[in-house]
Amino acid sequence: MNKIMLVLEREFLTRVRKKSFIIMTILTPILFAALMIVPAVIATLEDKNERHIAVIDDAGIFEGAIPETEYLKFTFLHDVEVDDIKETFYDSNYYAVLFIGKMVASTPDAVVLYSDKQPSIDITSHISSALKNEIESQKLMSYDIENLDEILNNIKTSVRVRTIKWTKSGEAKESSTELAMGLAYILSFMVYMLIFLFGTQVMRGVIEEKSSRIVEVIVSSVKPFQLMMGKILGIAAVSLVQIVLWIILTFGLVTVGTSLLMDKPDTADANKQMVTSIMEAQGGAQMIPDTAAADNDFVSEMMGALSNVNFVLIIGGFIFFFIGGYLLYAAMFAAVGSAVENEADTQQLVMPITIPLIIAIVVMVSGLRSPDGAISFWFSMIPFTSPIVMITRLPYGVPTWELILSGSLLIVTFIAMTWLAAKIYRTGILLYGKKHTWGEMWKWIRYSN
């Protein structure tokens, strides 16, 4: 055990002192924070320039019908042709000229926006929805219905499906499918990336020891198993330190960043912005309702759901399944590393290891839609895919017995895998000169001591 600690210490210290570790530790949270903050900041920074748009309304029915916003003003010009204004456009203060043709009610492309710049989608959609509403209401009015306004107000509806989870103890908790989906996606993808990242570090470490020929010097002092475990655990410690630093730095950066960059320093508001921007980034754009009021509802609902997420369970589950999956795969990566002398030879041998990981990612995507389906269930039990698939299911809520079963299977499998890998490893590290196949490695397992 003492020997494993010594090896672990070396593996840990040489890695955390590397420049690449320090750079990764700092850059990744900056990237994460930027991904969260930038869309939110952009959303708040939206065109603060006041823009004036000249309107030439040939149809003559829209004056006052296009609502002005804080930054968008409309000026209706009378008795002016588009050609007239074209000549003076550059000298005028107008941002653009909106021409509404006579036949606008029957010809959808009768509306033209002239400008010397490319108007943003916000401006064109603002105009088109205003015109559309106006034309629709005018058409409705032409039917001469009594109490039309009242009826219209009456039929305006906004529907959102809120999801409330009932727990066994009878509590009702606001939940959010979108939020669960976002979390599940990010977390399970991270597990996948991290298993790969740190698993291949184990493999590289083994190859380094073999190709630099130090391995025989070391195994005359420690058992090959101790050397392998020390390396795997040392890199596990590196990964934990890195993940914890990432989490702390990301939260720190986001907090500092939002308070510095946002106009409204009040954090609740900044958080709302962030939630919406995350949701947009996660492809939830279709869920963002049209009107500002509904938008607010949506955001506060998200906030409610966010505060109801069991972060202790999710972070705990994340770390457990990541470490379990890492240990399982690291043992296999170590076995592969022991059978080759340079990284170029690893590709073929690594293939069988990557296949279950890739299957897990495919299942993860379907798991996002049906987290309780049979496929998700079974793949969250199989230890080779459970670290990723179980993390996908976790934010949706998983029965305790399933968690315990899946976790135990994972532990049993990685112990068995470590035992097998150690047998391959102790033979492989001392065989030089050629690259070996899985078939040969299988034979090594059966060698006695």
Nearer to another protein, 23 or 217 (CB): 217
Please say which residue, 169 or 448, places its beta carbon nearer to another protein. Answer: 448
CB of 10 to another protein, least distance (A): 5
For the bound state, the minimum distance from the C-beta of residue 19 to another protein, rounded and expressed in Å, comes to 11
Our CB check for another protein shows the closer of 209 and 301 to be 209
Q: Which is nearer to another protein, 205 or 257 (CB)?
A: 205
Q: Which stretch binds another protein (CB under 8 A): 43-51, 159-167, 193-201, 207-215?
A: 207-215
Could you say which of 105, 218, 287, 288 contacts another protein (CB under 8 A)? 218
Q: Should residue 221 be labelled a site residue for another protein when binding is judged by CB under 8 A?
A: yes
- Please state the closest distance from residue 243 (CB atom) to another protein, in A: 24
Q: Is 6 in the site for another protein (CB under 8 A)?
A: yes
Residues 377-416 that bind another protein (CB under 8 A): none
Which 11-40 residues touch another protein, going by CB under 8 A? 14
Looking at the Cβ atoms of 208 and 280, the one nearer to another protein is 208
Is residue 222 near another protein by the rule CB under 8 A? yes
Separation of alpha carbons 310 and 91, rounded Å: 60
CB of 224 to another protein, least distance (A): 8
- Provide the angle, in degrees to the nearest 10, between the axes of the packed helices 311-338 and 177-211: 30
Do the Cβ atoms of 199 and 333 come closer than 8 Å? Answer: yes
Query: CA distances (Å), 240 to each of 320, 323, 333, 337, in order?
Result: 11, 9, 19, 22
Q: How far is the CB of 219 from another protein (least distance, A)?
A: 5
Among residues 14 and 75, whose Cβ is nearest to another protein? 14
- Amino acid 430 reads L
Cα-Cα-Cα-Cα dihedral sign, residues 136, 138, 143, 147: positive
Which part of the chain contacts another protein (CB under 8 A), choosing from 183-191, 215-223, 312-320, 322-330? 215-223
Establish if 437 lies at the interface with another protein (CB under 8 A): no
Which residues bind to another protein, rule: CB under 8 A?
A: 3, 6-7, 10, 14, 208-209, 212-214, 216-222, 224, 430, 432, 443, 447-449
